[in-house]
Chains A and B, each alone.
Chain A
């Protein structure tokens, strides 16, 4: 019996000021349901600011109602609020710290090629959605365009003009290949170009910084890229 008493002791008004606060839960519950209806109806109009307020603004209001009244944070000791605030601050630091890199796909001295390619692929697929569904067997080929892909993936090092002077390539040693140099073509044939794009520079004893692209592109796409590289050849 003493044990039983102790359990309730933690909740007795004398020990825990927090206990005994019970707002009108039914009223809060129906307010929450009303807000839910608004958050679903608001975006139907398709107006950006109405959607933002009705979806995200109301989410904040709903969460606050639950946290203050159902979780009783309103009546809780300050230390619990500090715990939660500290976590929120850490989260904000994380988001604030990385957002510049995640939200942008390029900066002064860098480029997120994979993210740019993902955006391009996704938008192309969305624009040609019906086509994608009809030719579901080879969805990767949709929207592939060798010059665009060269500019997206290769040009950062090899330069959009194929001269080896891409921004990311300037710092590389050895320097990226210059496709406009006759000396480059004196030593290389078509098979070698295809091989290096497929397996990387290291496969022929050249720079490992030129990585292989066999995982990203099909053999056919690599042939198209090789065709495009050959257009830089002097006199081509």
Chain B
């Protein structure tokens, strides 16, 4: 027996399908969360010249590689959206799987990077810089993990030609995760 669809899936009172409206709403709250963390980091960084020494230990090449990985995964996510709009669920699912691959690559690189840093003694309690470093990047990594899990569910449905509108929704979320990293990269890796 099929369950009736929730009204939110079908209507678009604002001119935006309600599911997508909800994603924008979610992202508006994310802007405040990440904006608060990054804004605080920026202010403290400017007020603490001694953080430059701590920041000089982050690995720019690893940060740049992960930026490349996330930009590429955003590219595959938007190709998934394009395929879904053409009604090609299988192709959309394929692109989403590639995007999940990007998420997993990002997380593996991050695990390696953090392991090296923690073994060198740069732990979350080492000083203010490292506290922000692990908090901001950790919060971002949690979003990567959540996105990858949801993308798996959406891809499984899309493969069967179901709920194709969700491909765009998880895509918008994923691009936001990419945008956050675009700002984290110069803040944590480039500004030495």
Complex CA–CA separation, A56 to B188 (angstroms): 11
Residue in A70, A98, A105, A115 whose beta carbon sits within 8 Å of that of B78 in the complex: A70
B166-192 residues at the A interface, CB under 8 angstroms: 168, 171-172, 175-176, 178-179, 182-183, 185-186, 190-192
Which secondary structure characterizes the binding site on chain B? helix
Residue in A16, A56, A70, A123 whose beta carbon sits within 8 Å of that of B17 in the complex: A16
Q: Which of B24, B178, B186 counts the most A-chain CB atoms under 10 A from its CB?
A: B186
B10: Cβ under 8 A from any A Cβ: yes
A231: Cβ under 8 A from any B Cβ: no
Interface string of A3-19 (1 = CB under 8 A from B): 11011111100011111
User: In the complex, which residues of chain B have a beta carbon less than 8 angstroms from the beta carbon of A125?
Assistant: 50, 53
Interface string of B42-82 (1 = CB under 8 A from A): 11101111111110000010001001100110110111001
Which secondary structure characterizes the binding site on chain A? helix
Complex CA–CA separation, A184 to B10 (angstroms): 80
User: In the complex, which residues of chain A have a beta carbon less than 8 angstroms from the beta carbon of B82?
Assistant: 22, 25
A120-172 residues at the B interface, CB under 8 angstroms: 121-123, 125-126, 129
Q: Do the beta carbons of B165 and A11 come within 8 Å of each other?
A: yes
A70-B74, A90-B32, A118-B48 known; A59+B68 contact, CB < 8 A: no
Complex CA–CA separation, A118 to B54 (angstroms): 13
User: In the complex, which residues of chain B have a beta carbon less than 8 angstroms from the beta carbon of A8?
Assistant: 87, 164-165
A87-B29, A91-B32, A119-B49 known; A98+B43 contact, CB < 8 A: yes
Q: Do the beta carbons of B43 and A95 come within 8 Å of each other?
A: yes
Residue in A9, A26, A69, A102 whose beta carbon sits within 8 Å of that of B10 in the complex: A9
Residue in A25, A80, A86, A119 whose beta carbon sits within 8 Å of that of B75 in the complex: A25
- Interface size classification for chain B: 35 or more
Complex CA–CA separation, A170 to B109 (angstroms): 55
User: In the complex, which residues of chain B have a beta carbon less than 8 angstroms from the beta carbon of A39?
Assistant: 185-186, 190
How many contacts between A and B, using CB within 8 angstroms?
177
A83: Cβ under 8 A from any B Cβ: yes
Residue in B16, B72, B191 whose beta carbon sits within 8 Å of that of A79 in the complex: B16
15 contacts between A and B (CB under 8 A): A7-B164, A18-B20, A29-B75, A36-B68, A59-B186, A66-B182, A70-B77, A71-B175, A80-B20, A87-B28, A90-B32, A94-B36, A122-B50, A122-B53, A123-B49
What residues of chain B have their CB less than 8 Å away from a CB belonging to chain A? 2, 5, 9-10, 12, 14-17, 19-21, 24-25, 27-29, 31-32, 35-36, 39-40, 42-44, 46-54, 60, 64, 67-68, 71-72, 74-75, 77-79, 82, 85, 87, 127-128, 161-165, 168, 171-172, 175-176, 178-179, 182-183, 185-186, 190-192
